[in-house]
A and B are shown apart, each in its own frame.
Chain A
Amino acid sequence: MKGYFDISAKRLKYMGDKMEKILGYIKKEFSSPVLLICFCLMISVFLSISTESFYSLKNVVNILEANSYRMILAVGMMCIITSGAIDLSVGSILSFSAICTAISLKAELPIALCILLGLLSGTVMGVINGVLVYATRINPLIITLATSYMYRGLSLMVTEGIPVTKLPESFREIGCGDIFGMESGVTAAFVIIIAMIPVFFFMKWGSYIASLGGNPEALKRCGVKTWKYRISVFALMGFLASVSGIIVSARLNSAEANAGLNMEMDAICAVIMGGTALHGGKGSLFGTVIAVFLMGLIRNGLTIMSVSSYYQQFITGAMLLCAVVIAELRERRARIG
């Protein structure tokens, strides 16, 4: 007992170093999202003043619910981009894993098994991406573009283009039932984000992923088996895409081959806006989370203000451009002085 409280100077210094390291992480992590937070606040204030329905708990819940699956996708995409790769097959994986789940539900298998099958199919597709990227050394952009068509084609072949609808109530209860007064997707997104914090910041995996993007040669010279990390990051993306797929199909009560169209682009947009470098090596988890929220805020604000959806894409693009240009300027300044 006594020994436990006997804190030596060395130990104190160690703890101090650790604290400093954590503070450093926080500082680094939040320097880029500051801009986004300002954007969010600005838009929120503007909407609260100009509309009646924006400033309410219900509406915040709406925004969270509508963006939970986008959040999950973006977190996975953030890991992929940090590792110096990109994954364009996310939307197709989402659709295919949702269809796998829906079809096994229709075959009246136990619900847990159906969900497991869906998650498994997504993970397997992710692993295939990873293996192909690692084995062929071809640019992941091309590999995942090819697999995205293949996976989408599989979805179409399996369903013959007809959506699988009328999923069992108990499945929908899991996919979008109430937890803490919100759809369960929101809780899932929070759990995933919180689980990613230690993995990404404090575990070997996170730093290896970043080095894989920053300097893969150095990582290899250190004797690290890079294939493990290359494949695992794609597997994680596939897994998260299938989680999103289950949430989406439960919400819409249908799994269709067209689901998740262009969602990879939304995810990439949020990740880059959040301050992750496209060439890899530097990821920002919180920046990504806030960027997804910001995009959701814009979508919600335009609906509430009854502005035509024509404007939405323009505004999102302009914001992305702003964010990227500012990040680039800042990086150049930092490099010079």
Chain B
Amino acid sequence: MKKFLACLLSAAMVLGAVGCSASSETAETEAQTETTEAAAAESEEETTAAETEAAQTEANPEETAGEISDTVKQLYADFDKSMEEQIGPMPENFGEIKVGAVVISLTNPFWVTMKDCYIAAGEELGVPIDVQTGTTEGDTASQLDVLMTMADMDYDVIIVSPIDGTNLIPGIIKCNENGVKVINLGPGVDTEALAEAGGYLDATITVDFAEQGETVANDMMERLPEGGQVAVLAGLAGAGQSEGRTRGFTETIEANDSYELVAVQNCDWDATLAYDATKALITEYPDLKGIFCCNDVMALAAVEALSAEGVDGVLIYGVDFTDDAKAAIQEGKMTGSMSYSSARYTKAALQMAVMLNEGETFDSNVYLPLTLVNVDNVNSLEGWK
């Protein structure tokens, strides 16, 4: 009996040990192969591009992944100019630094892309970076646990994107106490509550969420000159991005009398909820002309719901410009999606991390330039990421 137990126990131990180490190793090697593959692909394309277009354009080694259209080049140039104005130039030499990032969830394609962009940007700048997250989306407590653990590790700077305004505050205070610099990227930390609790942020880089809503509202009104009923599918109640986008959209729409805002429905970023809400909306308001969804997951669900109901001609806008949304816009199922370059976003954040570590300070928030991708310009944005 005892022997049998001992056997089982040791077997389980070995299994566990192998499992643990194997999983991390495979993850690492996978990441490595991916990057080498990407690098190979890049250099290949670079050579072909250089061969064909050597005479006309000078090849920019940074932007050779995929074909880059002039529109995208222009967007990148505008972005870099705006960042240079707000942040300043990247220091050429910098000391050793280790950066951590806490993102919201790896079950949402947007954050998966952000993670990949962080890692790519880290390699480009030569800054080691780890990206971590809580277990599931909306699990505020486990996201805090992750930050609390990271605060005691050897990171110099941690970039945080909190699930809600307050959940990471104890972790940020711990970082402050341990001398770890904190950058807030994207969804905002409630700075008032943070200050009250005795903590501070070293820098903030974010998107003006209200501006996203405004831009969509303006584009929608341009496409609906005769006016009509419109609705909003918002995200999680209380989440900064959702509230900001909704506010920007509703204020712009309500300023114009020929448009009627019939509903603002919280769908918690969830596809199923958005699907059902859209069906309910279109049944109740058959004349509905446009829906602004606070992210693409919900926008795509709205598209599905409308096609299931056999309704055409409702303008649907999303935010994030995910790959699926891009395809939907190209097919004309969706009208537009608010976008910004995740690659540039994460790179700017990493640059700020390096500069903070070198002793620079950032007094005001850094805002990203935004782009609305719609049915008119989607095909000229090949290579935008």
Binding partners A and B: yes
The interface of chain A, by Cβ under 8 A from chain B, is 35, 38-39, 42-43, 46, 50, 52-53, 56, 58-59, 62, 65-66, 69, 160-163, 165-166, 169, 172, 176, 248, 251-254, 256, 258-259, 261-262, 299-301, 303-313, 315, 318-319, 322, 326, 329-330, 333
Residues of the A chain whose Cβ atoms lie less than 8 Å from the Cβ of B238? 161-163, 165, 256
Q: Are B154 and A52 in contact (CB under 8 A)?
A: yes
The reply to whether B190 and A53 contact each other, CB–CB distance below 8 Å, is: no
Q: 4 nearest interchain CB pairs? A: A161-B237, A66-B145, A306-B130, A53-B153
Decide: A253 and B166 in contact? CB cutoff 8 A.
yes
Is A252 a contact of B166 with CB atoms below 8 Å?
A: yes
Alpha-carbon gap, A309 to B102, bound state (A): 12
| Minimum C-beta distance from A95 to chain B (A) | 11
Do A308 and B152 touch (CB < 8 A)?
A: no
Tell me the bound Cα distance from A69 to B145 in angstroms. Answer: 12
| Complex CA distance for A319 and B148, rounded to whole angstroms | 25
Q: Is the CB of A252 within 8 A of B9?
A: no
| 144-169 of chain B: CB within 8 A of chain A | 144-146, 148-150, 152-154, 164-167, 169
A313 to B9, CA, bound (A): 22
Given A322-B12, A330-B5, check contact A46 B152 (CB 8 Å). no
Contact A258 B138 (CB under 8 A): yes
Are B196's CB and A333's CB within 8 A? no
16 additional contacts, CB 8 Å, given A42-B16, A254-B140? Answer: A52-B154, A53-B154, A69-B141, A165-B165, A166-B166, A253-B170, A253-B193, A254-B167, A258-B140, A299-B135, A307-B23, A307-B24, A307-B27, A309-B135, A326-B12, A333-B4
Taking A46-B20, A252-B141, A307-B27 as contacts, is the C-beta distance between A165 and B190 under 8 angstroms? Answer: yes
| B1-50 interface with A by 8 A CB criterion | 1, 4-5, 8-9, 12-13, 16-17, 19-21, 23-24, 27
CB distance from A183 to the nearest CB of B (A): 8
Give the CA-CA distance A262 to B139 in the complex, in Å: 9
Residues of B within 8 Å of A52, CB to CB, are: 153-154
| In the complex, chain B residues whose CB is within 8 Å of the CB of A301 | 20
Could you tell me if B132 and A303 are in contact, using CB atoms closer than 8 angstroms? yes
Contact A259 B141 (CB under 8 A): yes
From known contacts A258-B138, A307-B23, infer whether A172 and B237 are also in contact, taking CB-CB under 8 Å.
no
Once bound together, how far apart are the Cα atoms of A66 and B135, in whole Å? Answer: 13
Please name 25 pairs of A and B residues whose Cβ atoms are closer than 8 Å in the assembled complex, sorted by A. A46-B20, A53-B153, A56-B152, A58-B152, A62-B148, A66-B144, A66-B149, A160-B237, A165-B165, A252-B141, A252-B166, A252-B167, A256-B140, A256-B164, A258-B138, A303-B132, A304-B149, A308-B27, A309-B134, A313-B135, A315-B20, A319-B16, A322-B12, A330-B5, A333-B4
